[in-house]
Amino acid sequence: MIVRIDDDFDLKKIADSGQCFRFNECADGSYSVSAFGRHIFVSELEDNRYEFGCSKEAFETFWKDYFDLDLSYKDIRGRIDPEEDPYLYSASEYGKGIRILKQDPWEMLISFIISQRKNIPAIKASIEKLCRLAGDVMCEDERSGVIYSFPTPDRLAALSMEELASCSLGYRDKYVHQAAMDVASGAVDLYDWKDLEDQELMDKLMSLYGVGVKVANCEFLFGYHRLDAFPKDVWINRVLDLKYPDGFPFEAYAPYNGIMQQYLFFYSRMDGLS
């Protein structure tokens, strides 16, 4: 179906923003998006219109929420004062169109456990191998090739350590295995955690094997859509050190600091940070 979107919405920037690893541009310029065992192609048309390769019902009940289309990122961006915070303003102009997707906490947990000390292409490669090994075919199309679903906790927990090792997880294989066992066994119920208070949720996440401050904050932001979370990776730390020596004004942007983090992260990777 065709949808007109007047708010910030840039498929390429979202795909490259580092929050998602199975959101890819296809040969024809459309984007392949996978989430919660579903898959669609989305294409940009003229005049802020987009074609979503799904029914109106699927769009209204699922994808609209997935893309967080009820929240005005334009308004949130408008809070940034170019005089007060020129660096963030530049970053937000550059990153205009980024949105925080409402992704699956299970997929995000495993994805960000894998992400530690890896660059984005390496993260994507590992996840792709996992999906081929333990996911199901969701789509087979010449523009995208075969698309597999993200493995369920049961399927991932059933993989041997040799199979996990074949996905280039390196020393993270034991973290992934443990997380899969915890969730598959029911000892950890990620979906049940969504109603927890911030601090309690953060404590639970930090208690997982292989999950430290950075990964927990990514899970918090991208898996639970807690938009005030502000994950600090090497890029963000460089920005904070160089551009915010007196501290980042978190209070000015609450409860949306996570969106500001995305602009800063996206911008920092091209800025050179001199």
Partner DNA sequence: AGGCAGGTTCTTA
Partner DNA sequence: TAAGAACCTGCC
Q: Which residues bind DNA (CB under 7 A)?
A: 17-19, 115-123, 165, 168-172, 208-216, 218, 231, 233-235, 265
Dihedral sign (CA 144, 150, 155, 156): positive
- Written as one letter, the residue type at 251 is E
| 135 vs 210, beta carbon nearer DNA | 210
CB burial readout 56-93, b (16+ within 10 A) else e: eeebeebbeebbbbebebeebbeebeeeebebbbebbe
Burial of 191 (0-12, 13-18, 19+ CB in 10 A): exposed
Angle at CA of residue 10, ends 104 and 127, nearest 5°? 35
User: With respect to DNA, which residue has the nearer C-beta, 64 or 214?
Assistant: 214
By beta-carbon proximity to DNA, the closer residue of 228 and 233 is 233
Smallest gap from Cβ 133 to DNA, in A, equals 15
Name the minimum Å distance from CB 139 to DNA: 24
Peptide bond into 105 cis (omega under 30): no
Closer CB to DNA, 7 or 173, in the complex: 173
Q: Min. distance of Cβ 86 from DNA in angstroms?
A: 23
Residue with tokens 């090497």: 234
Please state the closest distance from residue 169 (CB atom) to DNA, in A.
7
| CB nearer DNA, residue 97 or residue 210 | 210
- Give min distance, CB of 138 to DNA, in A: 23
